Amino acid sequence: MLVVRRPAQARLAARPPAPDRMGWLVAVAVAFLVIHVIAGTIWLRAPATETTTSLSSLYD
């Protein structure tokens, strides 16, 4: 019985292409920045009295 082995490079070439990792990284980074900008905007627009009251009640 004759066994023919293909080189490792041939097996790697037959695999489907890997997902674009840089694209995912950029998408996650952009989403992170957008969420933090929105959260910061909401936080800065909160009335100062509510913020100080809630913080002072934590320490009482």
Residues 59 and 55: their CA atoms lie apart, in Å, by: 7
pLDDT of residue 29: 97
> What is the pTM (predicted TM-score) of this model?
0.47
- Give dist(CA 7, CA 48) in Å, integer: 68
Side chain identity at residue 2, one-letter code: L
Q: How large a percentage of the chain has pLDDT more than 90?
A: 32
Per-residue pLDDT tens digits for 15-43: 655 568 888 999 999 999 999 999 999 99
> Cα–Cα distance between 57 and 12 in angstroms, integer?
61
Supply the pLDDT for residue 20. 82
Dig out the tokens for 43 from the structure: 């936080």
Query: What's the token pair of residue 49?
Result: 């009295």
Q: Reply yes or no on whether the pLDDT at 57 is more than 80.
A: no
Rg from Cα positions in the chain: 27
